[in-house]
Structure 1
Amino acid sequence: MSSSDIFTSEVLGTMLLVLLGGGVCAAVNLKRSKAFEAGWVAVAFGWGFAVLTGAYVAQSSGAHLNPAVTLALAIKGDTPWGDVPVYMGSELLGAMIGAVLVWLAYYSQFQVTLREPDAAEMKDANPGQVHGVFFTSPEVRKPLLNFLTELIATFVLIIAILTQGLVKDADGSVGLGRMGALITALVVVGIGLSLGGPTGYAINPVRDLGPRIIHAVLPLPNKGGSDWSYAWVPVVGPLAGAAIAAGVYNLAWG
């Protein structure tokens, strides 16, 4: 597969992932949205469907959509290490584009939410009032424990992805083919419902970093800070969880 093919597929797939995932966060959190205060279950299923959509669109590149997945597949031996920078760079760019599209789609709702009197009072907050649309932050700020939560949650995601290749179909072929995207999406829903409470379950470095960068540069009134002191947790935690999951896979089934 050429680098250009990887780039196109991963940018588009990750863009849709963040557009739909960030979109459900905007729908639930921003005032004057018809889904305002729909709740955590809506967010968890919204992100699952976002993964499903992005994965189907990006099938030609293997639908990594996540540097943690790319790292794990490289450690497993399924992805050449030389392709890793292309995958990760494409995923970050796609995530940033997706975040911009969320802003455009919910432009009016951002304006209403951030121009209210209480928003002006919170303009120096870090993280800011609408941060949840763009990036994660913990309910209880304990960075090492937050890191551990992201590691555990990503371990679940990656081991579920890697072990799909152990299943044989009725015709004897190995792997779940297109069903893999659906199964992975359901795993993401399960992670959100079970392990998402402490940190908001980034489980994907670019899903958090890309939109965080966009939040920092967008001309949003009274948006508050982008919480860069916490940004390492949803980047390093998922990568560590992916590396451990790939190591466990290689030891157990490699």
Structure 2
Amino acid sequence: MLLLLGGGVVATAILTKSKGLGGGWLLINFGWGLAVFAGVTVSYASGAHLNPAVTVGLLIAGKVPGGIGAALVYIVAQIIGAMIGALLVWLAFKRHFDEETESGTILGVFSTGPEIRSYGWNLVTEIIGTFVLVFVVIGFSRGGDPNTATPAGLAALGAIPVALLVVGIGASLGGPTGYAINPARDLGPRIMHAVLPIPHKGTSDWGYSWVPIVGPLIGGAIAGGLSYALLPIIG
């Protein structure tokens, strides 16, 4: 659900002959926020584990029932889900992909990329953006009675707050890299870009692909570690 609607809003805004062509950055930001809203709503059973960086941060913060084993299952499922979502976006926009001749535009539907390529600084941007995401998620889940059985994950915030958080991160910090802030969101669709029969698609830019994986994982881990000192449990 997350990647179907998130990738779909990008496709709507940038693909040739789309009715939403030229919708702009704010449309994409709000579309991704609503995609997160939908994803959180339907994945309540796991605590809305949609993002490996959030899962890692919550694991470090001691908020993943089942520990490392459960976290690994979540991460594998997140990547598979992202691939399925990207496949559905391709099916929905098949004729538009066929008529698009700009390889960069096609790749932009599936994965993120920097406006100014500087791997070190691109990494910093992804670390900071993901830190904000995970730190706020942990902040919500740390409040109240620590013995209350609150689901660990994005569901701890509720669908609307986390959607607004993602819109805020995109609007404030998304300009340099397109704010992956989620390794599965970038890796799963990038794999599908590589394997799908899309005319004029060009390279999948694997040289950059490590940045939206490593950066968010570092940002999530830092948020999880700092949460013990900066987000004390109350109640």
Q: Same fold (TM over 0.5)?
A: yes
Structure 1 pair 174–59 and aligned structure 2 pair: CA distance change class (3 A) = closer
* 1:56 pairs with one of 15, 18, 41: 41
Which protein, 1 or 2, shows the higher relative CO under an 8 Å CA cutoff with sep ≥ 6?
2
Q: Deviations over 1:18-61 (max 9, x none)?
A: 00000000000101111001000000000000000000100011
Partner amino acid, structure 1, of 2:87: V
Look up the match of 1:152.
128
- Gapped regions of structure 1 (runs ≥ 5): 1-15
**Displacement, 1:129?**
3.5
Tell me the TM-score normalised to structure 1 length.
Answer: 0.85
**Displacement, 1:181?**
2.0
Look up the match of 2:59.
74
CA contact (8 A) 1:22 1:99 kept: yes
Look up the match of 1:108.
95
Q: Deviations over 1:73-99 (max 9, x none)?
A: 111112111111100000000000000
* 1:94 pairs with one of 70, 81, 105: 81
Matched, 1:183 2:170: no
Tell me the TM-score normalised to structure 2 length.
Answer: 0.91
Look up the match of 1:44.
29
CA contact (8 A) 2:140 2:156 kept: no
Q: Deviations over 1:115-164 (max 9, x none)?
A: xxxx4xxx6xxxx3311100000000000000000000000000110000
CA contact (8 A) 1:71 1:243 kept: yes
Partners of 1:101 and 1:174 in 2: CA distance? 35
Structure 1 residue runs of 4 or more that deviate by more than 4 Å after TM superposition: 173-179
**Displacement, 1:180?**
2.1
**What secondary structure, in the 3-state scheme, does the structure 2 residue paired with 1:129 have?**
helix
- Gapped regions of structure 2 (runs ≥ 5): none
Look up the match of 1:20.
5
CA contact (8 A) 2:141 2:156 kept: no
CA contact (8 A) 2:141 2:157 kept: no
Partners of 1:67 and 1:164 in 2: CA distance? 18
Q: Identity over aligned residues, as a percent? A: 52
**Displacement, 1:175?**
6.6
Alignment RMSD: 1.9
**What secondary structure, in the 3-state scheme, does the structure 2 residue paired with 1:130 have?**
helix
Look up the match of 1:232.
210
